[in-house]
């Protein structure tokens, strides 16, 4: 069982545990374990490798990983809005935007396409923000490690200097004793 962190536009980042080995199997788990809707219409990218998961047979990383799920413009065109009835479009508009639906079918389609595009842009911004935060956190951690290493090096240099002084001192003592013996 490995941990998969999922970042999408559907709520805050969440983690699930999974034994899934393929994208198809993981999609099913994301729907149930992570409550991600329409997983099949989202673009999935493995964070570390930047590999896009498209085919259900695509193999997943074996260890823990982060998965980005993006909405795409294909999502809006994947739902053929022109084939939806006037009433269905009205319900979609109201549910998606929270405002009353426009008066014509064309306006409803335009509103929904705009909503899908805005949603995709917002998701991409959330993912960019997460990446930037992760980079900043990693950078801070690296700076802290470098500081610790520099401090440790300075302490080791000091210990080396003390040891060198002790060795020098021991040599002086040995030479002193030698001279003392020759003088006697």
Please tell me the distance from the alpha carbon of residue 82 to that of residue 90, in angstroms, as a whole number.
13
Q: What's the whole-model pTM score?
A: 0.45
Same domain (yes/no): 66, 76? no
Cβ atoms 124, 131 nearer than 8 A = no
Of 70, 99, 114, the residue that ends a domain is 70
Residues with Cβ within 8 Å of residue 39, at least 6 apart in sequence: 27, 30, 31, 69
Same domain (yes/no): 13, 77? no
The residue with tokens 């319900």 is 91
Q: Which of 64, 68, 118, 113 is closest to 93 using CA atoms?
A: 113
pLDDT value, residue 74 = 47
Residue 61 lies in a domain: yes
Quick check: helix, strand or coil at residue 23?
Answer: helix
Residue 178 lies in a domain: no
Please tell me the distance from the alpha carbon of residue 29 to that of residue 16, in angstroms, as a whole number.
9
Same domain (yes/no): 64, 83? no
Same domain (yes/no): 24, 38? yes
Residue 49 phi, psi (nearest 5): -100, -15
Q: What is the dihedral of CA 56, 53, 3, 120, to 10 degrees?
A: -120
Same domain (yes/no): 47, 92? no
**4-8, 102-106, 142-146, 169-173: the lowest-pLDDT one:** 169-173
Same domain (yes/no): 76, 49? no
pLDDT value, residue 76 = 46
Interaxial angle between packed helices 105-183 and 86-97, expressed in degrees from 0 to 180 and rounded to the nearest 10:
40
Give me the domain span that covers residue 134. Answer: 72-173
Residue 73 phi, psi (nearest 5): -65, -25
**Range among 8-17, 81-90, 97-106, 140-149 with highest mean pLDDT value:** 140-149
Residue 96 lies in a domain: yes
Q: How many domains does the chain have?
A: 2
pLDDT value, residue 184 = 61
CATH of the domain at 49: 3.10.20.90
Same domain (yes/no): 77, 62? no
Same domain (yes/no): 168, 79? yes
Average pLDDT, whole number, for the chain?
A: 83
Q: Kindly state the tokens that stand for 3.
A: 């941990």
Same domain (yes/no): 11, 90? no
Mean pLDDT of 153-167: 85
Same domain (yes/no): 49, 104? no
Residue 64 lies in a domain: yes
Residue 180 lies in a domain: no
């Amino acid at each position: 069982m490995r941990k998969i962190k999922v970042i999408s536009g559907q709520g805050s980042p969440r983690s699930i545990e999974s034994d899934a080995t393929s994208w198809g199997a993981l999609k099913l788990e994301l729907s149930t374990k992570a409550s991600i809707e329409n997983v099949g219409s989202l673009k999935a990218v493995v964070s570390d490798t930047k590999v896009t998961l498209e085919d259900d047979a695509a193999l997943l990383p074996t260890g823990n990983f982060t998965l980005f799920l993006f909405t795409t413009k294909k999502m809006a065109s994947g739902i053929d809005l022109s084939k939806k009835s006037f009433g269905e479009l009205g319900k979609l508009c109201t549910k998606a935007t929270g405002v009353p639906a426009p008066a014509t079918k064309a306006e409803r389609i335009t509103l929904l396409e705009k909503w899908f595009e805005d949603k995709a842009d917002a998701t991409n911004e959330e993912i960019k923000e997460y990446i930037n935060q992760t980079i900043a956190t990693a950078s801070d951690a690296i700076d802290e490690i470098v500081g610790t290493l520099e401090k440790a090096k300075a302490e080791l240099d000091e210990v080396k200097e003390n040891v060198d002084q002790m060795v020098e001192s021991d040599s002086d003592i040995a030479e002193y004793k030698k001279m003392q013996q020759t003088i006697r």
